[in-house]
Structure 1
Amino acid sequence: MAYYLASLGQGFFEKSGVLNLAIDGVFVLGIAVGYAAGVYSGNPWVGLLAAMAAAVLFGMMLAYVTTKFPISHGAAGLSIMFLGYGLAGLIGVTARSTYNRLVASGIYPQYTLPTSPTARILMFVIPVLVGILFYLIETRTKLGAAIRAVGENPHAATALGVDVIKIRLIAALIGYSLIGAGSMGFLTWIATWSEGAGVNHGWIAYAISLAAGRHPILTIGTAGAFAALATYMFALQAAYNLSPEIAKMIPFIVAIGAMVAFMATPLRKKLAPPLSLGKRFFKEERTV
C-alpha cells in the first residue's frame, strides 16, 4: 500500500508538468510527522492526517515556486528533499525520546499501529479503489483534462484561460496527500520510527511511477511487485545465503532495472511523460 499510494501521488503530480525530485525527503518527513502525531495523540488516524498535511505543505511549496518563478525544477525539488531529511530527524528524535519517557513512567500506553486482518484487507482494497478513482478523474473530468493540458503545454493552457498555478497547486494537494498517506502506510510496515526510516524508499515509489508510465491502473501491478519484493527480500536472503546488505539492495537494484527497461523499450513512447515535465514556465506580465 505504501509504495502504491506514494507512486500514484507522484504520477498524478508530475502530470501537471512539475518534476518531483522532492519525493524522498517528503516521504521520510511524512513518516516522522505521522509517528510524532500518533505518539502525542495516541491515535494513528491523527498521525495519518498529520503526515498528509506535512506532505501537502511541501508539495504545494514545490508547485508554487517552480511555476511562479523561472527556477530549475530539479534544484527546487532537491532542496526540499534535503530540508525534509533534516526536519524528519529533528521531529522523529524528539517524539521518540518523549514517547520512551512516557512509556517508562507508566502513564502512557504502548503505542501500536492497527494490524488486525480487517485492517490488512482494507490496506489492499482501498488503494485499488483509489487507483480506479484516479484513473476516472484523469480521463473523465475537467480537472483531469486541465492537469494534462498544463503538463503538456502550460503556455497554450494559459492562452485558453487555464490558471496554471491553481491547477498545479491542486495537483500538488491531491498528489502529495497520497504521498503522505503512503509514508504513513510505510510506518505501519516498519512499526516504529528510527533515524533514517524510509530513506530511499521514496525513490522506489518514483521508480514505480516511472516504470508504470504514471498510469494509475498499471501502477497497481508494478507497486504490488515491488511491495512483494520488499516483503520477502529477507526470505530470499535466507534461501540463497545472501548477506543482509545485499538483501536490502535488491529492491533498489530492481528499481534501477525497471527504469532502464522503461526507457529502453517502446513503453517509453506509449507511456510518454508530459511534454513540459520539468521545463521552466514563466508567465510574462502584460503592461499597457
Structure 2
Amino acid sequence: MKKLVLLAAAALTVVACKKDKNEDNPTPPQPEKPVEVPAGFIKQTIFTQAGVSTETTTYNVENNVLKGWTVTNNYGTVTHSLSYEGKNLKTYNYQDGARAVNEEYTFIYQDNKLTKITSTSNGQTDTFIVTTDSQGRITSKINTGIGNNFNADTWTVTFQYDTNSLKVVNTKDGTATYTYTYNNGNVTKIETINYQRLEENFEYDTIVVNELNNQYILLANLARLNIRGHQDVKFGTDQDLFVKQSKNIVNKFTPYSYEITKNGNKPTKIVKRDVTGAPISTLEYKY
C-alpha cells in the first residue's frame, strides 16, 4: 500500500513539473499575415479595344499573397508593388517608366490603426492625415497642404458608411458628393452631385466572382486618390474605384451591356457592347 502511495505521488510530481515547464515556455503567438488571394487567382488580363490589344495586366502572387501587378500598354509599363508588415499594407510603390514617375506610398499605423499616408517622389515627401472606423475602413483622407510640395492644395475626402450605402464627399476642385447604394456587396447605384446631378445604375452577374475585390488594391487606389497625375483613380462610371471593388462582375451599365463568358464562377472573357450591340472592347482573363 505504501508503495502505491509513493508511485502516485511521483506521478503527480511529474505532471506538475510538465505543467510548470509548459507555463514557463508558452507557445508563441503566430504572426499575422496578409489576407490571401483566392485559390487559382488571376494571372493576367488582356484589354482590347477597336480590335487592337491595348493593355495587359500581369499579377504577381507569392505564397498566395498579392505582391503587385504590372500594366503594359502602348505608352509603356507601369509597375505597382506592395509590401506588408503583418496583415497591414506597409508600402505601395508606383513606377511609371514612360513618365519617369517613381512614387513610394508609406502607410503609418498607430495601435494597429492607419493614421497617415505619405507619398515620396524625387526626394520630396507629402503627408496625408487618415482616420478610420472600428472596421479599419478609411473615414477621411485630409491634405492640410502644410509642408507638402507636389500636393500643396488643401482638400478633404470623407467616407460615411451605412449598412447598404456609402457617401463620399470630395472637396478637391470644388465639392462633389457621391452616394453609393449596395446590394449584396455590389454597387447598384451611384448618385453624383457636382455641377449637376447624375444617376448611374449597375446590374451584375451574381454567379461570377470578382477576384480583384481586394482590400489592398482598394487601399493602394485610395492612397493615389486626389494625388496629382493619377486621374485614373476616379468616381463614377464602370471604372469607379468602388464599382471595381464590387463582389461580382457588372453585366449592365446603361447604355452598355457586358457579355460574360465564364468557367464556373470565374470570368474568362467580357465583351462590352454599345446600345446597338456592337462590341466596344474585350477583356480576357488568364489563370
TM-score of the aligned structures, taking structure 2 as reference length: 0.23
- Quick check: which one's strand share is greater? 2
Higher relative CO (Cα under 8 Å, sequence separation at least 6) belongs to 1
TM-score of the aligned structures, taking structure 1 as reference length: 0.23
Larger radius of gyration: 2
- Quick check: which one's helix share is greater? 1
